[in-house]
Amino acid sequence: MQSLALIENWPVPTAAAAVVRADGSVVGRHGPTDKVFPLASVTKPLAAYAALVAHEEGAVELDEPAGPEGSTVRHLLAHTSGFAFDEHRSVAPPGTRRLYSNAGFEVLGDHISKVTDIPFADYLRQAVLEPLGMRATALEGGRSPAKDGVSTVDDLVRFAAEVQAPRLLDPRTVAEAMTVVHPGLSGVLPGYGHRKPNDWGLGFEIRNSKSPHWTGTSSSPRTFGHFGQSGTFLWIDPDAGAAGVALTDRVFGPWAIEAWPPFTDAVLAELRG
C-alpha cells in the first residue's frame, strides 16, 4: 500500500505500520514491523481481550463486583468505575461519568489474577498472546495492564485480525465489546479534551461522532480501537473491513494530532479503491 509510506514523513525516529483485512490477509506493511515498541495504552485492548476470555471461561462475570464500592468488571473495562486517572481512589459514583483510568485497569488485572490464581501478565500470555502467535508481545516493567505492554506491528496485526474474525472469543462477546457501555456519558478523551458523549465499549474506545479524533475524518462512526501516549495506535473500521496499526518511538503530541488523521484517510481511500 502506497499510503503506508506516509509514515516516512512523520517527525519520529522510527515508525512502522500495517493494514490487515477481516479475513486476516495483511494488505501492506511499511517500516520495521518486527521492531518491539512500547505500547502505552494500546496495552488496554489486549488486557480487555484477556478479561473477556476469563469471562467466557467462567472465571469472572462482567457484572460481578470489582473496584470501588458499587463498581463491576464491566465498569472497569468501560472507564465508568469512578476511579481517578492514575490513583486508586474513587472520585465519582460508578456509572455516572466516563473517567479514563489507568488505575481501573490495574485493579481489573489484580481482580483477574485473584480469581484465576495466575499473575495477570501470565494469564494474558496464556489466554491471548500464545494462541495468536504473538511471541514478541508481553507486559514488562511495572506490568501494568493499562500501559506496560510491548509489541511489534507484526504481532498486533494478528490481534487485529482476531478481533475482526474472532477465534478465541464468541463473536457475540466481541460485538458487545464494541458496543457503547453506558451511552451518553461525557468525559475527557486524553489528548483531545472533553467529549460529550465520550463513547467507550469494553476496553475499546468507539469513535462515533467525536471530532477531532485520532482516527481519520473518513473513518466510520463504528470505528473502534485505542491509541497510546508512546505514539502508537490500533483502529478497526468494520465498514472498511480492515484494521490499521502504527507504532512509533516518539511520545504522542501535536505531531500525532496533525499526522494521524490524514494517514488514516489515505489508507481508507486506498482500501476503497
| Per-residue model confidence as pLDDT tens digits over 61-85 | 999 999 999 999 999 999 999 999 9
Q: What is the pLDDT of residues 236-266, one digit of tens each?
A: 999 999 999 999 999 999 999 999 999 999 9
246 pairs with which residues across the strands?
Answer: 17, 233
Q: Could you tell me how many helices (H) and strands (E) the chain has, helices first?
A: 7, 11
- Which residue ranges form the domains of the chain, and what is each CATH number? 2-272 (3.40.710.10)
User: Considering the chain, what is the average pLDDT of its residues?
Assistant: 96
Separation of alpha carbons 206 and 179, rounded Å:
8
Q: Name the pLDDT band for 120 (thresholds 50, 70, 90).
A: very high
Q: Quick check: 141 pLDDT over 90?
A: no
Q: Virtual CA dihedral for 5, 148, 133, 232, nearest 10 degrees?
A: -10
Please give the pLDDT value at position 126. 97
C-alpha–C-alpha distance, residues 260 and 252, integer Å: 11
**Residue 43 to residue 145: CA distance in whole angstroms:** 6
Average pLDDT over residues 129-152: 95
pLDDT score, position 273: 85
Summarised one tens digit per residue, pLDDT across range 208-228 is 999 999 999 999 999 999 999
Flag whether the pTM goes above 0.75: yes
CA distances from 187 to 98, 104, 157, 224, 269 (A): 5, 15, 29, 17, 31
CB 38 within 8 A of CB 231: no
Decide: helix, strand or coil at residue 65: strand
Helices (H), 37-178: 43-56, 73-77, 102-116, 120-124, 153-164, 171-177
- In this prediction, residue 138 has a pLDDT band, given cuts at 50, 70 and 90, of very high
